């Protein structure tokens, strides 16, 4: 901790205006002293557990399960507490109850012969688990987390020792009364939810909540109600921010991805986006087109052939509109340097070939009924009308607006917390490992100032007053989705057109930026950490964005442990490549644990059969001495408060400020 200078009368006098303001909160010596005692006590509690997840991609069932089991932390607690006293099946049943109390209770009551006896045993077990997970916190913090209905009862149960024979009868009496009054189910649910709440002190989502999976809106609803979390925006999150802010290229991309992965219900049911005009347009323009390359993924067994065909037609229609809109943005912004993404004007529409760099590439789909070869980037009147209606749906969606507010309130491009630097994808670097200059609006930015500027632009695009600055910021959001120097993207191009329309895999290739060739080097990671003010030998960078392909021998720990890639691998679209369901990270008072997950079967299997996500713990760093609140960023803030309160005491005792009765 930073050593502060001794408190002198001169220092107190110089800070008198601030101390007078502080005295309104602590009007007497007694009040200030009590607060100092309270804060000093908090400093000596163990550090709360931090939970890191990334790349959720709409897979809400797996996300909710990992959130409930805290990446295996709940099970570890149960095993530590009960040791050899519970069988494996009993441990599994107790953990499942903690994760899904309402659903599991219904199953148990249908099977259990002596329900009252089961209630009694289970409540004693749950109280022990709850006492353990609450031991890191002050009574005040635990009290605030308690459900109002059972606040008094749970306080009594949590803070009474069952070892003392006098207290044992007291606790048994409370539990018996809960059962006899018919409130056991409610109380068990309250305790289970409290265990989940107290196991994790803070949650970090290192980007990409949206796209691919079927329930991004469910994830956002969960996060918006979570007790303590933050988000570092990923490129998919930024794309949705751009769509909600009214960037038509972003809107087209969001719809295209939803149709590609068959998660259009997120748009229609989750956010109330009206896709009927797109369906009507697609049926009219592509009625005889098989749209083979545009058949949605992941929906073969979920919808009939007629619906799949309609989704493919809609998918192709919005894709062509997207390519036109993006081309218009590229022409409007030569500073984006994306001319190589202008492809609609490189097509010989009669021959059905793409001409690039003197080579001809046959197109596997040659039907472009809405493209005028003389003006290939222009929208038709029908396409303009369609985009106008889609634009209206996005910017006026109440649910989407609510979730965007949440993304802005708790989100940012990066976060520095407890000696860790969190950002989703990359920091632009030159091939020699130095920070790359990125041009934004005629000025060049590198490193931390670059991410600060981008954060400012994203907020301006959504909240700014109409004008040139907001217009540029809104256009730049699209660049952050797919631009070469965008730290949220990190590739030379997004080869969407080539993948749809050509068989040439060389054209499909997307080359990763220098960051991904250099992030294995410890010196490069240390340079990035220093740029963000982290110089400790225990500092880390925590990334997501790129799935760790364990099947190919890739490792999540890089640069001698300075960089941790924890792409959650929640997206089923990635699991064939990775071989696992990715990684999450736990940072508790003893150290860092990386958790490798197997794919999640289903919530139903978890409840009925007690099938948890199979997880493997990898100890990254373990300390013999527990990390206390004093050693955290919050600890530094508390020490600053204590220092100022001690100044206030000096001011009171020397008559600079009078106590207020």
168 and 286 assigned to the same domain: no
347 and 279 assigned to the same domain: yes
Half-sphere exposure of 171 (CA within 13 A, CB side): 22
**Domain presence at residue 218:** no
Burial 461-489 (b: 16+ CB within 10 A, else e): bbebeeeeebebbbbbbbbbbbbbbbbbb
55 and 201 assigned to the same domain: yes
172 and 279 assigned to the same domain: no
User: Cα(476)–Cα(472) distance, rounded to whole angstroms?
Assistant: 6
**Domain presence at residue 322:** yes
200 and 57 assigned to the same domain: yes
34 and 81 assigned to the same domain: no
Q: In terms of C-beta density within 10 A (0-12 exposed, 13-18 middle, 19 or more buried), how is residue 568 classed?
A: buried
Contacts 24+ apart (CB under 8 A), 8-13: 9/650, 9/654, 11/647, 12/647, 12/650, 12/651, 12/654, 12/656, 13/656
CA angle 203, 204, 210 (to 5 degrees): 110
56 and 190 assigned to the same domain: yes
The reported pLDDT for the residue numbered 171 is 85
**Domain presence at residue 193:** yes
**Domain presence at residue 194:** yes
**Among 138, 133, 135, CA closest to 41:** 138
Indicate the residue among 397, 432, 460 that finishes a domain: 397
29 and 123 assigned to the same domain: no
**Domain presence at residue 641:** yes
Q: E strand or H helix at 578, and its extent?
A: helix 572-578
259 and 383 assigned to the same domain: yes
The reported pLDDT for the residue numbered 383 is 98
The reported pLDDT for the residue numbered 622 is 76
The number of distinct structural domains making up the chain is: 3
Question: 596 has which bridge partners?
Answer: 583, 616
Indicate the residue among 397, 430, 457 that finishes a domain: 397
**Domain presence at residue 606:** yes
**Domain presence at residue 411:** no
CB 345 within 8 A of CB 337: no
The reported pLDDT for the residue numbered 581 is 64
Residues of the domain holding 326: 249-397
The reported pLDDT for the residue numbered 550 is 65
The reported pLDDT for the residue numbered 185 is 93
User: Cα(122)–Cα(107) distance, rounded to whole angstroms?
Assistant: 15
**From the CB of residue 331, how many other CB atoms can be counted at a distance below 10 Å?**
13
Which regions in the chain score pLDDT beneath 50? none
Q: Where are the beta strands (DSSP E) in 376-451?
A: 411-412, 414-417, 420-423, 438-440, 443-445
**Domain presence at residue 475:** no
At 369, phi and psi to the nearest 5?
Answer: -65, -20
Looking up tokens 């909240």 gives: 463
201 and 56 assigned to the same domain: yes
CA 246 to chain centre: 23
33 and 80 assigned to the same domain: no
86 and 23 assigned to the same domain: no
The pairing of strands 420-423 and 414-417 is antiparallel
User: Cα(322)–Cα(627) distance, rounded to whole angstroms?
Assistant: 51
Looking up tokens 């493209």 gives: 371
């Amino acid at each position: 901790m930073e050593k502060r200078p001794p408190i002198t009368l001169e220092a107190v006098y110089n800070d008198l205006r601030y101390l007078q303001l502080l005295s309104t909160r602590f009007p007497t010596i007694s009040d200030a002293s009590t607060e100092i005692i309270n804060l000093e006590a908090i400093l000596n509690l163990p550090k709360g557990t931090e939970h890191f997840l990334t790349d959720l991609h709409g897979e809400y069932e797996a996300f909710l399960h990992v959130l409930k089991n805290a990446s295996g932390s709940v099970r570890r607690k149960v095993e530590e507490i009960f040791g050899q006293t519970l069988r494996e099946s009993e441990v599994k049943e107790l953990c499942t109850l903690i994760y899904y109390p309402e659903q599991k209770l219904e199953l148990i009551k249908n099977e259990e012969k002596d329900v009252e006896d089961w209630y009694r045993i289970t409540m004693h077990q749950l109280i022990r688990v709850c006492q353990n997970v609450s031991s890191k916190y002050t009574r005040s913090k635990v009290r605030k987390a308690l459900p109002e209905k059972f606040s008094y009862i749970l306080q009594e149960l949590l803070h009474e020792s069952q070892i003392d024979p006098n207290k044992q009868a007291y606790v048994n009496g409370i539990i018996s009364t809960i059962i006899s009054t018919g409130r056991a189910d409610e109380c068990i649910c309250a305790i289970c939810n409290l265990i989940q709440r107290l196991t994790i002190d803070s949650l970090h989502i290192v980007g990409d909540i949206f796209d691919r999976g079927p329930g991004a809106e469910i994830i956002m609803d969960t996060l918006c109600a979570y007790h303590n979390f933050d988000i570092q925006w990923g490129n998919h999150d930024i794309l949705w921010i751009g769509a909600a802010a009214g960037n038509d290229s972003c809107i087209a991309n969001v719809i295209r991805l939803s149709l590609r992965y068959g998660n259009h219900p997120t748009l229609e049911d989750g956010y109330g986006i009206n896709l009927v005009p797109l369906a009507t347009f697609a049926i009219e323009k592509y009625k005889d087109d098989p749209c083979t390359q545009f058949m949605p993924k992941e929906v073969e067994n979920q919808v009939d052939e007629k619906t799949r065909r309609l989704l493919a037609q809609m998918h192709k229609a919005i894709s062509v509109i997207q390519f036109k809109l993006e081309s218009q943005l590229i022409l409007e912004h030569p500073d984006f340097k994306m001319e190589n993404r202008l492809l609609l004007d490189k097509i010989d529409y009669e021959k059905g070939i793409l001409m690039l760099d003197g080579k001809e590439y046959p197109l596997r789909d040659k039907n472009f009924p809405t493209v005028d070869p003389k003006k290939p980037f222009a929208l038709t009147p029908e396409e303009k009308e369609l985009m106008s209606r889609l634009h209206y749906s996005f910017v006026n969606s109440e649910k989407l607006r609510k979730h965007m507010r949440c993304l802005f309130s708790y989100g940012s491009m990066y976060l520095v917390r407890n000696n860790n630097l969190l950002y989703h994808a990359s920091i632009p670097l030159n091939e020699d490992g130095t920070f790359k200059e990125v041009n934004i609006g005629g000025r060049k930015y590198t490193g931390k100032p670059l991410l600060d500027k981008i954060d400012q632009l994203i907020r301006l695009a959504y909240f700014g007053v109409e004008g040139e600055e907001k217009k540029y910021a809104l256009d730049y959001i699209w660049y952050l989705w797919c631009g070469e120097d965008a730290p949220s993207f990190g590739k030379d191009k997004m080869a969407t057109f080539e993948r749809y329309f050509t068989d040439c895999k060389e054209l499909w290739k997307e080359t990763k930026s220098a960051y991904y060739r250099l992030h294995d080097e410890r010196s490069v990671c240390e340079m990035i950490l220093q740029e963000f003010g982290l110089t400790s030998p225990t500092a880390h960078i925590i990334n997501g964005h790129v799935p760790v392909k364990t099947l190919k021998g890739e490792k999540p720990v890089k640069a001698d442990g300075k960089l941790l890639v924890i792409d959650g691998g929640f997206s089923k679209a990635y699991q064939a490549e990775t071989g696992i369901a990715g990684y999450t990270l736990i940072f508790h008072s003893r150290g860092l644990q990386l958790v490798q997950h197997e794919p999640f079967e289903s919530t139903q299997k978890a409840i009925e059969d007690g099938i948890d996500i199979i997880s493997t713990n990898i100890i990254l760093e373990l300390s013999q001495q527990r990390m206390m609140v004093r050693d955290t960023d919050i600890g530094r803030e508390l020490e600053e408060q204590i220092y100022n309160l001690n100044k206030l005491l000096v001011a009171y005792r020397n008559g600079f400020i009078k106590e207020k009765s």
